[in-house]
Structure 1
Amino acid sequence: MFDWMIVGAGFAGSVLAERLASQRGDTVLVVDRRNHIGGNAFDRYNEHGLLVHQYGPHIFHTNAQRIFDHLSQFTEWRPYEHRVLASVDGMLVPIPINLDTVNRLYGLSLTSEELPAWFAARAEPVEVIKTSEDVVVSVVGRELYEKFFQGYTRKQWGLDPSQLDKSITARVPVRTDRDDRYFTDTHQFMPRDGYTRMFERMLAHPNISVMTSTDYRSIRDFVPHRRVIYTGPIDEYFDHRYGKLPYRSLQFAHETHDVEQMLPTGTVNYPQTEDYTRVSEYKHMTGQVHPKTAITYEYPSADGDPYYPILRPENAALYKQYEALAQATPDVWFVGRLATYRYYNMDQVTGQALATFERIEAQVPRSGVGDPVNDVAVSDAVASAA
């Protein structure tokens, strides 16, 4: 009898598994339908020995000391400040838009003191900011909106920014100085040995058993467990009772090239041209020294694994129906981006998982220190039951 079956071995599931095992002595079975742990942050060495991110670049950044300290138990860090260029009007310019972006595009020599007035002269007044388009045109005007945001957003989401919630483009700031860092958080790092190694250490507790390449629905009736933590799509848990929640997916094209470096920065965005949204080069992020280099092209898709909840009012209303079902389901905890239909960063998911653990501590009596889990026995039990 496991105390917990955790569905999903990404940040939400792994953080909770470690806390439950190490702090409560609970026994935990972590199940993931993919053939690896780490969720979308999974990284691996390719056939050339280059460390690549299987699902596109994942850059850790946070302002929360508590979250940084927690993850630091499982990894050492490599400082890294991510920089992104956008291919606009035949030039590579910084994104988020900053002083250099404007000066290069328009052949100007504005100062940081002059740029706010330049933006203000082009900004369009919007009485009530509701959509992603509203956010951008109200700050920098229509022309920069069309150059940097409209085409990129249409590719990424399959929708015009006027059809998306304001939170989508609000995530990308506009700056009046020359700061070209993509993020400005206090802590900006990459796990020194990669994300997968961090997850391996997180899940190494003897009370934790992990089963990959396993759909939890195929074993939930065969493996005894007291409670469930579910980090997959909430609509899938309830067999799409009210219909499918819309998600956006990605397809990745991984390439290795026989040169030491291809890109000037970790990522280059393509808001005006190409079918892909961006291309990333991992050696910028990992610091790996290697005669070859690995890059990844990202192609947004309507089909495939769910990555991004599509934030629109009607989708939020549909989620609320599933949330009501979740709240009425005893002994099941819904955690993570897919289970709560939120557009979370890695640190936010970690924080949500830690907060969930605190609620569990307050509400769920401890069952006592469990015995270490025997993985072979678990596998045998599943096989015999099936």
Structure 2
Amino acid sequence: MYDWLIVGAGFAGSVLAERLARRRGERVLLVDRRPHVGGNAYDRLDEAGVLIHQYGPHIFHTNSEAIVDYLSAFTAWRPYEHRVLAMVDGMQVPIPINLDTINRLYGLSLTSEELEAWFAARAEPVADIRTSEDVVVSAIGRELYGKFFRGYTRKQWGLDPSELDRQVTARVPTRTNRDDRYFTDTFQAMPAQGYTRMFERMLDHPNIHVMTNADFRDVREVIPHRRVIYTGPIDEYFDFRFGRLPYRSLRFVHVTRDVARHQPVAVVNYPQTDAYTRITEYKHLTGQEHPKTSLTYEYPSAEGDPYYPVPRPENQALFKRYERLARAEADVWFVGRLATYRYYNMDQIVGQALAAFRHIDAQLGRPAPARPAAATGPSLAAG
């Protein structure tokens, strides 16, 4: 008999497994249908021996000291500030758009103050900012919107920005200084030995049993457990009772090149050309020394594993119907990006999982005395 069956071995499920085992002394069965732990943050050595992220680049950044302190129990850190270039009009320029972006693109020598006026002269007033198109056009005008945002967004989401909630492009700011960092959080770093090693340490506890290549529907019928934490798609949990929630998926093509470096930064975006949205070169992220380099070409797709909830009002209304069912489920907690149909950064998922643990701990009260673990100890299949 397990105290908890946790579905999904990504950040949400793994953090809760660790807290419940270590802080409450309870027995946890953590299951994942994939052959590894770590969810989308899973990284591995490829055939050439280069450390890559199987599901595209994952860059850790946060303003929360508490989240850094928690994760630091399981990893050392490599300082890394993420920089992205966009291939626009045949040249690679910084994104988010900043002073250097505009000066290079247009052959200008504007100052920060002059750039503010330059943007203002091109901005189109929008009375009611509702869509992603509204956000960009009202700030920097239609020409830059066309160069940087429209094509990329259409590829990424399969929808025009005018059909998407404003939050999509609001995530990418526009700057009038020369700050070319993609993020401005106070803490920006990568796990020194990779994400997979961090997850392995997090789950290395005698009260945690990890079962990969396992489907929740099969496990829940045959393995006794008292309570469930579910981090998978909420519509799937309820057998798609009201229909499927729309997600955007991704297809990744991993290649190795017989050169030490392919591009000047970790990520180059392609808003104007090609079917892929971006190319990632991982050695920039990891600091690995290797005579070869490995890249990932990223192709958005309507089919495949769910990655991004599609931010439209009708989709949120459908989620609310599932959320009402979830609230009525006894002894089941829904946590994480897929279970709450919301895009979270990694630190936000960790924060949500830690908050969920505090809620569970308060709700259930003092746990029973910890039982001794099985002699076999934990089982990890992390690749």
2:235 aligns with 235
Alignment of 1:98-109 (within 5 A): 98-109=98-109
2:349 aligns with 349
Structure 2 letter corresponding to 1:51: L
TM-fit CA distance, 1:377: 11
1:368 aligns with 369
Residues 223 and 138 (structure 1 numbering): CA distance in 2 closer, same or farther, change over 3 Å? Answer: same
Q: Deviations over 1:128-163 (max 9, x none)?
A: 111111111111111101100000000000000111
Structure 1 letter corresponding to 2:305: D
Contact 1:157–1:310 (CA<8 Å) still a contact in 2?
A: yes
1:94 aligns with 94
2:140 aligns with 140
Contact 2:204–2:378 (CA<8 Å) still a contact in 1?
A: no
Structure 1 letter corresponding to 2:177: D
1:382 aligns with none
Contact 1:112–1:177 (CA<8 Å) still a contact in 2?
A: yes
2:130 aligns with 130
Q: How far apart are the structure 2 equivalents of 1:144 and 1:44?
A: 38
TM-fit CA distance, 1:114: 1.1
Q: How far apart are the structure 2 equivalents of 1:79 and 1:277?
A: 26
1:381 aligns with none
Q: How far apart are the structure 2 equivalents of 1:312 and 1:374?
A: 50
The reply to whether residue 257 of structure 1 matches residue 273 of structure 2 is no
Structure 2 letter corresponding to 1:316: Q
Q: Deviations over 1:297-337 (max 9, x none)?
A: 00000000000000100000000000000000010000000
Residues 42 and 377 (structure 1 numbering): CA distance in 2 closer, same or farther, change over 3 Å? Answer: closer
Which structure 1 residue ranges, 4+ long, deviate > 3 Å from structure 2?
Answer: 373-378
Contact 1:208–1:373 (CA<8 Å) still a contact in 2?
A: no
SS in 1 for 2:298: strand
Contact 1:247–1:308 (CA<8 Å) still a contact in 2?
A: yes
1:72 aligns with 72
Q: How far apart are the structure 2 equivalents of 1:66 and 1:113?
A: 37
Q: How far apart are the structure 2 equivalents of 1:134 and 1:65?
A: 34
1:300 aligns with 300
Percent identity, aligned pairs only, is 72
Contact 2:18–2:205 (CA<8 Å) still a contact in 1?
A: yes
Q: How far apart are the structure 1 equivalents of 2:264 and 2:59?
A: 17
Q: Deviations over 1:38-67 (max 9, x none)?
A: 000000001111100000000000011111
Structure 2 letter corresponding to 1:372: A
Q: How far apart are the structure 2 equivalents of 1:165 and 1:69?
A: 34
Q: How far apart are the structure 1 equivalents of 2:349 and 2:186?
A: 18
Contact 1:2–1:226 (CA<8 Å) still a contact in 2?
A: yes
Q: CA RMSD in A?
A: 1.1
TM-fit CA distance, 1:226: 0.5
Q: How far apart are the structure 2 equivalents of 1:327 and 1:194?
A: 36
Alignment of 1:218-297 (within 5 A): 218-297=218-297
1:383 aligns with none
Q: How far apart are the structure 1 equivalents of 2:66 and 2:106?
A: 43
Contact 1:27–1:373 (CA<8 Å) still a contact in 2?
A: no
Q: How far apart are the structure 2 equivalents of 1:67 and 1:39?
A: 18
Q: TM-score, normalised by structure 1?
A: 0.97
1:321 aligns with 321
Contact 1:209–1:374 (CA<8 Å) still a contact in 2?
A: no
Q: Return 5+ residue gaps in structure 2 as ranges.
A: none
TM-fit CA distance, 1:368: 2.7
1:206 aligns with 206
Structure 1 letter corresponding to 2:338: L
SS in 2 for 1:317: helix
Q: Return 5+ residue gaps in structure 1 as ranges.
A: 379-386
Q: How far apart are the structure 2 equivalents of 1:377 and 1:225?
A: 17
Q: How far apart are the structure 2 equivalents of 1:234 and 1:373?
A: 32
Q: How far apart are the structure 2 equivalents of 1:347 and 1:376?
A: 29
1:116 aligns with 116
Residues 329 and 266 (structure 1 numbering): CA distance in 2 closer, same or farther, change over 3 Å? Answer: same
Q: How far apart are the structure 2 equivalents of 1:313 and 1:375?
A: 49
Q: How far apart are the structure 2 equivalents of 1:68 and 1:154?
A: 35
Contact 2:257–2:293 (CA<8 Å) still a contact in 1?
A: yes
Contact 1:132–1:162 (CA<8 Å) still a contact in 2?
A: yes
TM-fit CA distance, 1:376: 8.5
Q: TM-score, normalised by structure 2?
A: 0.97
Contact 1:136–1:145 (CA<8 Å) still a contact in 2?
A: yes
Q: How far apart are the structure 2 equivalents of 1:156 and 1:167?
A: 14
Contact 1:209–1:373 (CA<8 Å) still a contact in 2?
A: no
Structure 2 letter corresponding to 1:260: A
SS in 1 for 2:279: strand
Name whichever of 219-228 and 368-377 sits farther off.
Answer: 368-377
SS in 2 for 1:86: strand
Q: How far apart are the structure 1 equivalents of 2:298 and 2:376?
A: 37
